[in-house]
Amino acid sequence: MKIPKFKNKKILGQVFMHRSFLNETSEDVASNERLEFLGDSVLSLVVSGYIFNQHKNLSEGQLTNIRSVLTNTETLYEIGRSLNLGDKLMLSKGEEQSGGRINKTILANTYEAVIGGLYLDQGLAAVAKFIETTLLSQADELIKTQGLKDPKSKLQEKLQEANRNSPVYKVLTEKGPDHNKLYTVGVYMEEKLLAEGTGPSKQDAEKAAARSALAVLLID
């Protein structure tokens, strides 16, 4: 897989401009964060339309779960990695040395920036084709691999079935610069620590903690 050719090379350059690089250049350039913001919305629109048409009998909640699987950090990271987006990034020396080219959050965000840039460069039809080729063609396998049920929802359901209170998530540590944070979250039941999880965002860390708790409790 590869990204389409861009008509506007300036937009293409911005797609791969990580904000860390701005500290090491005197050029008047912008990072890819605004394109990432736009791409996130376009991705959600295209994926929502696809699953709405593909799964006509599913409820809103079920559609939301599928969209979450197809647009989460882990999924977008894998797509970004398969496209070798890390090789094209403009990074600071520090970010480079710390593994920025293989960083899950950075690669996931860059995939969204590609979508945002392609939308500006060639419009929605071209973006939809790109997303269908790189992501939606694998939709069934991704859903099968990750499952439809969010681990946090599954853990809450299972604990409440056992007549217990809902789990509580607490941030235990957060490390790294703002653009490359790593969070560790603990999930508790009545002040008892069930498990911990780490991730590039609080949400990802909470999901990892819930996943670990389900494994500890031997819940499939």
State how far the Cα of 38 lies from the Cα of 112, in Å rounded to an integer. Answer: 8
Q: Is 220 a catalytic residue?
A: no
Q: Is 40 a catalytic residue?
A: yes
DSSP 217: T
Task: Give DSSP secondary structure letters for 174-206.
Answer: EES-GGG-EEEEEEEETTEEEEEEEESSHHHHH
Catalytic residue among 36, 78, 95, 112: 112
20 φ/ψ sector (left φ>0, alpha ψ -120 to 50, else beta): alpha
* Residue in 154, 173, 133, 165 with CA at minimum distance from that of residue 213: 154
Catalytic residue among 36, 40, 204, 206: 40
* Residue in 168, 158, 162 with CA at minimum distance from that of residue 195: 168
Catalytic residues: 40, 112
